[in-house]
């Protein structure tokens, strides 16, 4: 299961009424924008978050995979688009209370992908139609939507209004959110387990920097983070390095990095007097693999501070 964010704006009501999302295949100049071509990636069972004028207003489930289809007749007024396009049939579940993205953007910003993000750095939506939604961002959306829309029963509460009971019983969002969250977390857990299993022997089951070999203290650190990686890159054991908890935290936050030769680079944020405290020094070098090289360079270019 994959997740997507669709930027609908003025087309939302038309598409919701039809139970679809639709985009052209090409623009008038024959170009294929990435946000239109991404429609072909949607498969049956995938989830879509619907963004309209600053708010996530619905969650939908694809009832079948994307297919080629002409522009629906109800959308013929949109003359700037070619008629041939891509269509996905969806089951819409509207939110009682929309999620305002900007209001929660401090929580959302750190988990946005560097490439193909649906949102700008100021919280505005980007132009385009369909964007990827990584699993970490999907979980954050689900948490925020749940806080706004799902009535939580307080076990110590003695009185419960019948209106709240009825609202909870007919709220189709509850199973959708529960099932989506379960599938997303399972995908992450299984992926991380596979990644760790294949990464450990590459580094002789010990921290690449300090040689700690206690398994409970070792972390399989992604060089290109989960949020920015393709499904293949997430499981590629060369997209990472085995580090102890301390060095993993430094690597994850961009306070240390490795270059293409495996040499350690230390962020200027860490003062030299603290090098001993963190068990690092600029003369350190790890025995990297050739396959690590482009991942290390990506991390140094995009994560290192």
Delineate the domains of the chain, giving CATH numbers in brackets: 3-149 (3.10.590.10), 191-302 (no CATH)
* DSSP H helices in the chain: 12-18, 34-37, 105-108, 135-149, 162-170, 173-199, 231-235, 245-252, 275-278, 293-302
Residues 6+ positions from 259 with CB-CB distance below 8 Å: 265, 296, 297, 300
Q: pLDDT tens, position by position, for the chain (305 residues)?
A: 999 999 998 899 999 999 999 999 988 888 899 999 999 999 999 999 999 999 999 999 999 999 999 988 877 666 667 788 999 999 999 998 999 999 999 999 999 999 999 999 999 999 999 999 999 999 999 999 998 887 554 444 444 444 444 444 456 778 888 899 999 999 999 999 999 999 999 999 999 999 999 999 999 999 999 999 999 999 999 999 999 999 999 999 999 999 999 999 999 999 999 999 999 999 999 999 999 999 999 999 999 99
């Amino acid at each position: 299961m994959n997740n997507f964010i669709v930027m609908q704006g003025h087309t939302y009501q038309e598409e919701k009424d039809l139970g679809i999302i639709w985009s052209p295949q090409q623009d008038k100049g024959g170009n294929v924008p990435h946000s239109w071509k991404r429609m072909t990636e949607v498969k049956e069972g995938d989830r879509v978050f619907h963004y309209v004028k600053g708010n996530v207003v619905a969650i939908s489930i694809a009832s079948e995979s994307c297919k080629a289809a002409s522009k629906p007749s109800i959308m013929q007024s949109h003359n700037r688009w070619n008629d041939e396009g891509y269509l996905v049939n969806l089951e819409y579940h509207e939110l009682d209370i929309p999620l305002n993205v900007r209001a929660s953007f401090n929580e959302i910003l750190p988990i946005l992908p560097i490439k193909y993000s649906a949102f700008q750095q100021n919280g505005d939506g980007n132009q385009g139609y369909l964007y990827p939604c990584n699993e970490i961002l999907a979980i954050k959306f689900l948490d925020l939507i749940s806080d706004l829309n799902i009535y939580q029963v307080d076990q110590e509460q003695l009185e419960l209004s019948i209106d709240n009971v009825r609202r909870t019983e007919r709220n189709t969002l509850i199973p959708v959110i529960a099932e989506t969250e379960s599938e997303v977390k399972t995908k992450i857990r299984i992926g991380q387990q596979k990644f760790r299993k294949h990464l450990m022997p590459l580094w002789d089951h010990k921290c690449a920097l300090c040689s700690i070999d206690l398994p409970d203290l070792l972390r399989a650190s992604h060089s290109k983070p989960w949020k920015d990686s393709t499904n293949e890159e997430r499981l590629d054991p060369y997209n990472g390095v085995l580090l102890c908890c301390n060095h993993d935290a430094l690597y994850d936050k961009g306070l240390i990095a490795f270059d293409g030769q495996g040499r350690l680079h230390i962020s200027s944020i860490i003062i030299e007097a603290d090098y001993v405290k963190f068990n690092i020094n600029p003369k350190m070098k790890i025995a990297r693999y050739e396959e690590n090289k482009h991942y290390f360079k990506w991390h140094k270019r995009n994560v290192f501070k």
